[in-house]
Structure 1
Amino acid sequence: MSDLSTPGRPAWPYRLAYGAMAACLGVMALAVFVNVVLRYGFGSGIAASEELSRLLFVWMVFIGAAAAYPAGEHMAFTSLVARLGAGGLRVMTVVIRLMVVLACVLLGWGAWQQVVVGLDSHSVVLGYPTALLPLPALLCAVVIGGCATWELLARRPLDLGHAAEVE
């Protein structure tokens, strides 16, 4: 978990993201627990439990991914990049950020297409618009792509603070 007191970085987006992930996890755990107890203890179950858990899991994963990028918590293979000289590191920083932006554009475009398709269909049990499943991928792509674009334009260097770890 990132240090929420980092200077120059507002803490409220992280608190909001961590709170939303905790809420998703709590509701998922409760829904699955109640469903298991009902199914094995009483021979019945809650049909909506699986759909709700799947929806919340997707949201939790993408909220976490969006919160992890600006905090520098995504997996990084820094061993090769750290061996480059200063010039190579500057070039690789631009290349890596461009690749992140390209990946976000592709993810965002695909997610947008799925959101549009899902607007007219509804889930079987709960009846929510199925556009809610790809929507967090679209939002995550916007957040990460925006952060990577800002880092690229601001010429922010790669954070190789993970050098002490084996990666």
Structure 2
Amino acid sequence: MSPEPTRPPTRWQRAAQSLMAAMLAVMALAVFVNVVLRYGFGSGVAASEELSRLLFVWMVFLGATLAYPAGEHMAFTALVAPLRRHPRGLALLTRLIHALVTATCAMVAWGAWQQVVVGLDSRSTVLGYPVALLPLPALLASVAIGAMAAANLWRGRALDLGHGAEVE
């Protein structure tokens, strides 16, 4: 069984991937410069750690949001593979998974929203950005992924395992 051909990334996906690459480059440069300054000159850049943490959080949630529609999240192929011979069982499991993802995203969004509200009045120690910027990507990612899962549930769309993984 050959895997399905992959679609080329959209303009938004390419932009998000470029943004993630830029974030990774800034994080790597900030950490590298800080290490060189600490070990070579006995001082460092205090903002390096805060900047790296903020960029890492945003990069992870942006990546998770990009991975969901492509079917690149962790999948329990051992659970799905035996049901491929039973279309009704697979359809039921698919609906259950989409419903659970939607419900989980709603809970994560609610908790992230509460953290955003709490963080609006606080500032980070060194850079002074609003602390609400740390939980904000969790809110945005959970809303986006939840909307995609709810749309898949509504349409009755089959599970997209994307990676074409087989049970090994």
- TM-score (ref. length: structure 2): 0.91
In structure 2, the partner of 1:128 is: 129
| Alignment deviations for residues 43-91 of structure 1 (CA, whole Å, 9 cap, x no partner) | 1100000000000000000000000001111110122222121111111
Per the TM alignment, residue 36 of structure 1 is displaced from its structure 2 partner at its CA by 0.6
Mapped contact 2:102–2:146 kept (Cα < 8 A): yes
SS in 2 for 1:69: helix
* Residue of structure 1 equivalent to 2:116: 115
SS at match of 2:158: coil
Moved over 2 A (4+): 159-167
Instruction: Tell me which amino acid in the other structure corresponds to 1:25.
Output: L
Output one character per residue of 1:3-42: Cα deviation in whole Å (capped at 9) or x when no partner. 451xxxx611211211111011000000001101111111
Aligned position for 1:70 = 69
Change (3 A) 1:4 1:56: farther
Match of residue 166 from structure 1: 167
Kindly indicate whether residue 2 of structure 2 is the aligned counterpart of residue 11 of structure 1: no
Partners of 2:103 and 2:75 lie apart in 1 by 18
Distance 1:80 1:166 in 2: 9
1:79 maps to: 78
**Equivalent AA in structure 1 for residue 138 of structure 2:** A
Give the Cα–Cα distance (whole angstroms) in 2 for the partners of residues 143 and 66 of structure 1: 7
Distance 1:74 1:28, change over 3 A: same
Q: Which moved more, 1:80-89 or 1:29-38?
A: 80-89
Q: Is the 8 A contact 2:71 2:161 kept in 1?
A: no
Q: Where does 1:94-105 land on structure 2 (aligned, <5 Å)?
A: 94-105=95-106
Superposed CA RMSD in Å reads 1.7
Alpha carbons 1:78, 1:162 under 8 Å: kept: no
Q: Which residue of the partner structure matches residue 50 of structure 1?
A: 49
TM-score by length of 1: 0.91
Which stretch shows the higher mean deviation, 152-161 or 17-26? Answer: 152-161
Quick one: which amino acid aligns to residue 63 of structure 1? L
Q: How far did residue 163 of structure 1 move? A: 5.3
In 2, Cα distance between equivalents of 1:58 and 1:162: 25
CA distance in 2, matches of 1:165, 1:44: 51
- Equivalent residue number for residue 150 of structure 2: 149
Unaligned residue ranges in structure 1 (runs of 5+): none
Contact 1:104 1:142 in 2 (8 A): yes
